[in-house]
Amino acid sequence: MKTVASVQSLLAFLEEKKIPYSFQGDDNARIYGFSSLKNYKKDTFTWAKNEKAYQYGFADKKLVIAQDGLQVDCPNVIISKESKRAFFALIEYWADTHDLDNKDSIGPGTILGTGVRLGKNVRIGSNCVIQGNIEIGDNTRIWHNVTILNHVMIGSDCEIQSGCVIGHDGFAWNENQNHRKEMIRHFGSVEIGNEVYLGPNCVIDRGEIDATIIGEGCRLDAACFIAHNVVLGKNVILITGSRLYGSSELGDNAYVASGLVRNQCRIGAGTFVGMGSVVTDDLPENVTAVGVPAKIIKRGV
């Protein structure tokens, strides 16, 4: 049986999320899902991003979320300066309210230690191991085969995808006169803020004494590595394979495109590190740096 919602319920969700919009049409109209504009399905909502959308026409579309400035001639139109945000937020809302994903709260084979504290509506996939002094905030989703150990605090509304490992000791050792290495035991934590996204197979080491910190709103693509004592500010982006070595720091809104950052380096807020670059010295705020080693090629936003 098809699932259905009214336009009115979609508008209420946008208001709840404080996404700006205006609406033209019948808010009692019934919607039966979502689809792309190119492969539109009858009676669904879709997205018109820019002028290229005109090639598909709008007369047969039930509801279009349109970028502000587009002329969209269809029965129901949600117009927003943040149309992309509105469209994908509505897709998530639809999936959550119509049970499109497996919503079992804890999957089979998952082990939760006695020190684990879960917020409301936390979902955990299969074959995860979560043990230690662990706190996970409301509405956070953890996928399959995730390991979270020792002392980890995870905020609300986070997504941690399959294969992530969070909280193991970092790679540090002492060496005696015979060059024998003895690994240093860690006693710090990992602190992950609200609305953080970790792609598949990310690794985040715990701090030696203090915390490894992932700030609110950070987005880490697949297979990123975060060493002990690293500090990420808010809304940092790391593209797949980025590696941040011990005690490096990235300011708010920094962006590293599959690069490496040497231990103890500081990257300023708003700075962009180009694809495959290796950062060996501190970088100031709001610059673009590329190369091996990374050199500044542009200053200012």
Report the catalytic residues.
228
How many residues does the structure list for the chain?
A: 301
CA gap 19, 50 in Å, rounded: 19
Sign of CA dihedral 107, 216, 213, 290: positive
Query: Which pair of tokens denotes residue 24?
Result: 């033209």
Q: Which residues of 199-223 are buried (b: 16+ CB within 10 A; e: fewer)?
A: bbbbbbbbbbeebbbbbbbbbbbbb
β partners of residue 283: 267
* 249 contacts 230 by C-beta, under 8 angstroms: yes
In terms of Cβ atoms closer than 10 Å to its own Cβ (0-12, 13-18, 19+), residue 64 is: buried
Q: Rounded CA gap, 227 and 105, in Å?
A: 30
Buried b / exposed e along 15-30 (16+ C-beta atoms within 10 A) = eeeebebebeeeeebe
Q: Are 44 and 62 in contact (CB under 8 A)?
A: yes
